[in-house]
C-alpha cells in the first residue's frame, strides 16, 4: 500500500532550503496551510519566493514569515490586509509581483497540466503586461504568461487518506487543488487523516498522484480576517 504520511509539519518541510519558490494555498485566511507555515518559519530558510493569493495578516499565516524576514518576493493578487507587507514593500525590502487573480490561478493550473505558457487578455495596457509578448486573437490583445515553477506546494484539506487523496471543504477549496497539482513536492496538511479506502472516490478533489507528503494537523485556529457585527 502506498503510504505518504509523515509524522508532523516539521518532517513535511524536510528539504526546504534558502532561495526556494513555494506555493501556498488559501484565500485570505481560509484554507491556508497554517501548520506548514509555522514549520517553514521554524525551519529558518531565507530568501523565499512565495506564491499565494495574499500574504495573510500581520500576526498569522504568511505574516509569520514576513516577521522573520524569510520572504524575499511575494507573487500575489491581493495584499491589502497586512501592514507589515506594505511597510516592507514600500521600503524595498520585499519584492512584489502583483498578478490578476484569474491569471494567478491559471499559472498554477498550467504548471500542473504541463502547459509552459498561455495567452490571456487580463492585464493588457497595465504594468502587468510590461516586458511581455502580446498577440492579437479575434481582434483582442492578449498577454503571454508563463506557468509557475515551484519547489514546494503547501496545501490544506479537510480530509485526506494515507495515499494522499484530498477533500477540501467549502471555500477552503479555493487555490488549494490548483497548487497541489503544480509543486515539485506537494505537502498536504489535513484536519482528519483516514486509512486508504475510507474516502468516497467520487468526492475526492485532488487525487493522490499529485501529493508526495501528508500529515494531520492539530488545533487549527481558523481565524477570520475581519469580523463585522451589529447589535440586535
Cβ-proximal residues to 176 (8 Å cutoff; 6+ apart), any chain: 25, 26, 31, 155, 156, 157, 166, 168, 206
Beta-carbon contacts of 121 under 8 Å, excluding residues fewer than 6 positions away, are 140, 141, 142, 143
How far apart are the C-alpha atoms of 8 and 186, rounded to whole Å?
15
Q: Is residue 178 a contact partner of residue 101, using CB atoms and an 8 Å limit?
A: no
Q: How many CB atoms lie within 10 A of CB 116?
A: 9
Q: Give residues with Cβ within 8 angstroms of 76, minimum separation 6.
A: 51, 52, 53, 54, 55, 96, 97, 98, 99, 104
State how far the Cα of 162 lies from the Cα of 157, in Å rounded to an integer.
13
Q: What is the pLDDT of residue 68?
A: 96
Alpha-carbon distance of 180 to 58, in angstroms, equals 25
pLDDT at 59: 86
- Ranges of residues in the chain with a pLDDT under 50 are none
Residue appearing with cell numbers 513555494: 22
What is the rounded CA–CA span in Å between residue 179 and residue 228?
Answer: 30
Q: Where does the chain show beta strands of DSSP type E? A: 21-24, 48-51, 71-76, 95-98, 117-120, 134-137, 140-146, 150-161, 166-167, 183-194, 213-216
Contact 1, 196 (CB under 8 A): yes
DSSP state of 94: S
Which pLDDT score, from 0 to 100, does residue 1 have?
72
The pLDDT of residue 118: 98
Q: What one-character DSSP code corresponds to residue 147? A: P
**What are the structural domains, with CATH classification, of the chain?**
9-216 (3.40.1080.10)
**Sign (positive/negative) of CA torsion 222, 12, 77, 113?**
negative
CA distance 140 to 230: 46
- Give the C-alpha separation, 131 to 230, whole Å: 48
142-159 pLDDT, tens digit per residue, is 999 999 999 999 999 999
According to the model, what pLDDT value does residue 126 have? 94
Looking at residue 181, what is its pLDDT?
97
Q: What is the pLDDT of residue 48?
A: 98
> What does the block give as the cell for 51?
506564491
Amino acid at each position: 500500500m502506498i503510504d505518504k504520511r509523515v509524522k508532523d509539519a516539521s518532517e513535511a518541510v524536510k528539504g526546504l532550503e534558502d532561495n526556494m519558490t513555494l506555493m501556498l494555498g488559501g484565500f485570505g485566511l481560509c484554507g491556508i496551510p497554517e501548520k506548514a507555515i509555522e514549520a517553514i518559519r521554524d525551519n529558518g530558510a531565507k530568501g523565499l519566493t512565495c506564491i499565494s493569493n495574499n500574504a495573510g495578516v500581520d500576526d498569522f499565516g504568511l505574516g509569520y514569515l514576513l516577521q522573520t524576514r524569510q520572504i524575499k518576493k511575494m507573487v500575489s493578487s491581493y495584499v491589502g490586509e497586512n501592514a507589515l507587507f506594505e511597510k516592507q514593500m514600500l521600503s524595498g525590502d520585499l519584492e512584489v509581483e502583483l498578478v490578476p487573480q484569474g491569471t494567478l490561478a491559471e499559472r498554477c493550473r498550467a504548471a500542473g497540466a504541463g502547459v509552459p505558457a498561455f495567452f490571456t487578455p487580463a492585464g493588457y495596457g497595465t504594468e502587468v503586461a510590461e516586458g511581455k509578448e502580446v498577440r492579437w486573437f479575434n481582434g483582442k490583445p492578449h498577454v503571454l504568461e508563463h506557468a509557475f515553477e515551484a519547489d514546494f506546494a503547501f496545501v490544506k484539506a479537510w480530509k485526506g487518506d494515507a495515499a494522499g487523496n484530498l477533500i477540501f471543504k467549502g471555500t477552503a477549496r479555493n487555490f488549494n487543488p490548483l497548487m497541489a497539482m503544480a509543486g515539485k513536492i506537494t505537502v498536504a496538511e489535513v484536519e482528519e487523516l483516514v486509512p486508504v479506502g475510507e474516502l468516497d472516490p467520487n468526492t475526492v478533489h485532488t487525487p493522490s498522484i499529485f501529493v508526495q507528503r501528508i500529515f494531520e494537523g492539530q488545533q487549527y485556529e481558523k481565524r477570520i480576517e475581519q469580523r463585522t457585527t451589529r447589535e440586535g
